[in-house]
Amino acid sequence: MGETQDMNRRDFARTVTMAAAAGYGQTMAAPKAAGEVKPGLYSITYLGVWYRGEALTLEQVIGRAKQFGYQGVEVDGKRPHGNPLDMPRKRCQELRKVADGQGIDIYAVAGNNDFSSPMPESREAQLLYLRELIRMTADLGAKTLRVFLAWPGVTMRPEGGARYDLAKGAWEFTHKDFPIEQTWDWCRTGLKEAAKYAGDAGVTLALQNHAPVIKDYRDALRMIREVNSPYLKACFDTRLEYGKKGEYLLQATREFGPLQVLSHFGDEYSKVNKKIVPKEDEFLGDQVAGLVEIGYRGYLGYELCHPLEPVDGHLPGIDYVDNQVQLAAEYLREKIAEVKKRQTT
């Protein structure tokens, strides 16, 4: 996970002290009330990126959420779903009515921003994009906008599907001559300005602990502390703490505490002897346990957002995605029930 994982006890104590001084000391103490984790569906799952076939409309995504037992939808902030260019206020209000009519909450929007570029023109364009996403989030009646420090992007394949490596390589090339401290400063400056816009609109930004600038959850906490705005909180995803589980994830969740306003999970699933089996252990049980412990009352959104293995030389179709979305909802409900059962025994 990088050098930040090797922080010694003295460094960690200093981090906690600085957090308290910045007004975030309350994140170290878990509220007494138990949390309520709600199943959410992140629309990127149906964006037409990783499977064979076209994207669903947002109305269709809302319908899938209703069909498979989710309580809300998080709208991805890019085409063909939620790019602000396509989402004037009237369109947002119409979509909200559709969601309300099916009893589905539009609980968040997910930005795909990059404040890290060495080119000021790019950073300014990204700031404008985020300001428009904030406007769109408010028009949708959502409370939260997920943000990155840096998102390299994704490249669509002509034959279908997508790849991460080209965008990752381009990002690494443009940053190779700049120290990480400089990149960090650019990101902090952009996020500070964005937080002001968010406050004006009554929206909360949720910083995700996502690479490449953020190496682990401590970097996300550090950035939130340095921006020091009540309109910047956290989207902590335990699966992004690669290779970590158990007490590490629980402690990390405790440190975010009430700063955490959003989270995701993602995997592929199969059913064996009527039991749902994850393809990779995402430690979802640890994630749910931590959220309940800190009194989190919000959404844990499923996303299918990674390359899928071809079947007979072809990408899986949307039927496979539907199956995964259904199994993910069932699996999450199982984990929530297990955690609640442990609390009462």
**302 or 24, higher pLDDT:** 302
- Residue 101 corresponds to which amino acid? G
Q: What is the mean pLDDT of the chain?
A: 91
Domain ranges of the chain: 32-344
**Is residue 15 very low, low, confident or very high in pLDDT (cuts 50, 70, 90)?**
very low
Q: What's the whole-number mean pLDDT along residues 6-23?
A: 39
Asked if the model's pLDDT at residue 18 lies above 90, the reply is no
Asked if the model's pLDDT at residue 24 lies above 80, the reply is no
DSSP secondary structure of 24-65: -GGGGS--SSPPEEEEEEEGGGGSSSSSBSPPPPHHHHHHHH
Asked if the model's pLDDT at residue 240 lies above 80, the reply is yes
**pLDDT tens-place string over residues 277-298:** 999 877 899 999 999 999 999 9
**pLDDT tens-place string over residues 157-178:** 988 889 999 999 999 999 999 9
Q: Distance between CA 239 and CA 255 in Å, rounded?
A: 16
For the chain, give the longest Cα–Cα distance.
58
Across the chain, where does the E strand assignment appear?
Answer: 36-42, 72-76, 105-110, 144-147, 155-156, 162-163, 204-208, 232-235, 260-265, 269-272, 275-278, 297-302
Question: What pLDDT is stored for residue 219 in this prediction?
Answer: 98
Structure tokens at 248: 């590490």
Closest CA to 78 of 156, 143, 141: 156
Q: Distance between CA 251 and CA 240 in Å, rounded?
A: 15
Q: Distance between CA 307 and CA 254 in Å, rounded?
A: 32
CATH number of 32-344: 3.20.20.150
Q: Distance between CA 205 and CA 21 in Å, rounded?
A: 21
Q: Strand 144-147 vs strand 155-156: parallel, antiparallel, or unpaired?
A: unpaired
Asked if the model's pLDDT at residue 30 lies above 80, the reply is no
Asked if the model's pLDDT at residue 44 lies above 60, the reply is yes
Asked if the model's pLDDT at residue 55 lies above 90, the reply is yes
Asked if the model's pLDDT at residue 22 lies above 50, the reply is no
Question: What pLDDT is stored for residue 7 in this prediction?
Answer: 36
- Residue 6 corresponds to which amino acid? D
**pLDDT tens-place string over residues 242-288:** 989 999 999 999 999 999 999 999 999 999 999 999 998 778 999 99
